[in-house]
Chains A and B, each alone.
Chain A
């Protein structure tokens, strides 16, 4: 197809037909402000509704300004992004948005990290000339994971696109019309009662403080400062690949050692690693997989580390609940072992032990409240905070993160292998399981420890591996829309796959709902994943079953993988739910 010729601000340009003014301007280094627009192409997150009108530009010969984000360039078009008319129009749009917006910036969870606030700064808005009616909607604080404040909503519909199109969950819809329009749930139900999986992806894409996480930092500070409590902390694999961003470090910085040092400075009594528990998960999951293969059990086996994914299958495919592995997620395994075994070793009364999980994830906050994941009535994991919340605590404590020396995790539950850290990227859990399953089934290690065909941000990946004479067909999905597609295949064709990994977040936990905001940059996830794989490559041990602390835990306490005690503590059950 022939290219289109046009000019932007007098610069002659060419582009494929269908390219938008916004894309072309960007490639020429011309910035046009946007708000509703978001294109994270690899994840299928494309919000191009053109409703906010923040991106208005002048097109010569047209009476009306055009939204750059969803106007295609055309032959001979002359665009001005910098004319007074365009600048004034954009300012007016932002002023109008602000006229129905609580001006709470100083005490807002998104202060200094809000796209509306940045726009107001970028366009030098100094006063709001329109004093319109203001909405007064109630907050939704029903869930353990996220808070909705519809008064801060700018109706960009990003959350709706994410939840309905990318995740295929369908929690949100525009409700009512005109001034009363609000992005709400079915029948205005509280989030806790909806089909929400708490993946938090809507929070990740919301440009304002309308969707934020439940903040547990004060509960954690209180526990740390309570002399009767013994407070231990664990950190998920994906956190170390993103925490640095909270302190201005480049995307993709690996900050494992600094993170351990910072946690010690915050006052945790012990600093452990969820990676240890990820290795433990592989022991149980690889064992379960081999048992199912040998004894004609249900196949495929589905990984169960992602609580959002678990809630999704409980609601959407309740008839398939015998497929997921019964393994708890790694941080829940950690909590269970900590309170039933580690506490005794440390001479701490389990009732006084507080387990804090630092996770890239909002769903883990909800997961910790699931009644079956508790010792009597006290949860195995007491508090879950996100990467962003840990960043906030480190800032509150005045720690200069970037200049911290590298620290170490405490032993007994701090050692980990390269197989565990890759849990943070899509494909990593099944790769780690295959490494160990291969070794156990054949008695030797695979020629290549890296199962690279299962890596990368592609929504659904498939590969077949021959292990001990049998072909195993493996599939990986990330993003719940892709998970739905894969599960429909499994439902209609139960014999096709042997093992499947699913993560709710597109790209896996590196792009979790609790990670630092991605700044609308589609490269962010790949860079974090690369940081994770570099940590794997740097590890001396790259097979979960070689983790010496895991081996010791089985010798001292658990017995064998799949033992009675392992089942009691490390495995769980699922609940049928409805849509």
Chain B
């Protein structure tokens, strides 16, 4: 579910309280962004803009920092976070086809979550399991030597846990 506005207002208020508790605002951008992601779950533009104003830094700087570090998310994540490794080994063994299959099955682009917020899809850099390429992970659980045919099975495994259907 998208976060309702009142909900967001409450979360920003919690963030403000945190910012006010800091002894100084100088050099605290990354710390505050971490806190914001903890509270909200991700960093929507509104929240970034809010942080920029509260810290007195340009929004462009906040956006630059958020897009530089891969652990900051601009879009909300699903309950199950699918990450496809795009390191060299995975890439040459067909990682792109796996990503494309996930996109098709879940009707999302990379970086996005499904409408029901059950799944989100991301690409990541080498996870260090090159022997198992191509590799994906779901909430940290690794799946190796994945073929496009396996994609549906993996999705169904998690849907079964949650008792829903794709959509």
Contacts and interface: CB of A to CB of B under 8 A. Distances in A.
Nearest to B64: A173
A530 B49 CA distance: 44
Contacts of B48: 186-187
Nearest to A175: B67
Interface stretch (A164-172, A520-528, A563-571): A164-172
B115 interface: no
Contacts of A186: 48-49, 52, 58-60, 62-63
Given A187-B48, A579-B53, A170 B61 contact: yes
A174 B68 CA distance: 8
Contacts of A184: 60, 63
Nearest to B65: A173
Nearest to B63: A186
A174 B45 contact: no
B110 to A, nearest CB: 13
Given A170-B58, A186-B58, A177 B63 contact: no
A27 interface: no
Contacts of B45: 187
Given A187-B45, A187-B48, A173 B53 contact: no
A169 B57 CA distance: 10
Contacts of A579: 52-53, 58-59
Most buried by A among B57, B61, B63: B63
A312 to B, nearest CB: 13
Interface residues of B, number: 15
Interface in B34-66: 45, 48-49, 52-53, 57-64
Contacts of B63: 173, 175, 184-187
Contact of B64 (A174, A194, A195): A174
Interface in A165-224: 169-177, 184-187, 194-195
A142 to B, nearest CB: 16
Given A187-B48, A579-B53, A176 B67 contact: yes
A185 B61 CA distance: 9
B60 A177 contact: no
A171 B52 CA distance: 13
B68 A177 contact: yes
B68 A172 contact: no
Contact of A177 (B53, B58, B59, B67): B67
Contacts of A164: 58, 60-61
B48 to A, nearest CB: 7
A480 to B, nearest CB: 13
Interface string B57-82: 11111111001100000000000000
A156 to B, nearest CB: 16
Contacts of A175: 63-64, 67-68
Interface in A272-325: none
A137 to B, nearest CB: 14
In the complex, which of the residues B49, B52, B57, B64 has the most CB atoms of chain A within 10 Å of its own CB atom?
B64
A193 to B, nearest CB: 11
Nearest to B46: A187
A176 B70 CA distance: 9
Contacts of A171: 58, 60
Nearest to A171: B60
A475 B48 CA distance: 36
Interface of A: 164, 169-177, 184-187, 194-195, 579
16 contacts: A164-B60, A164-B61, A170-B60, A170-B61, A173-B58, A173-B61, A175-B63, A175-B64, A176-B68, A177-B67, A177-B68, A184-B60, A186-B49, A186-B63, A187-B63, A194-B60
Given A186-B60, A579-B53, 17 more contacts: A170-B57, A170-B61, A171-B60, A173-B58, A173-B60, A173-B61, A173-B64, A175-B64, A184-B60, A186-B52, A186-B58, A186-B62, A187-B49, A187-B63, A194-B60, A195-B58, A579-B52
Pairs A-B, 5 closest by C-beta atoms:
A170-B58, A173-B64, A186-B59, A173-B60, A186-B60
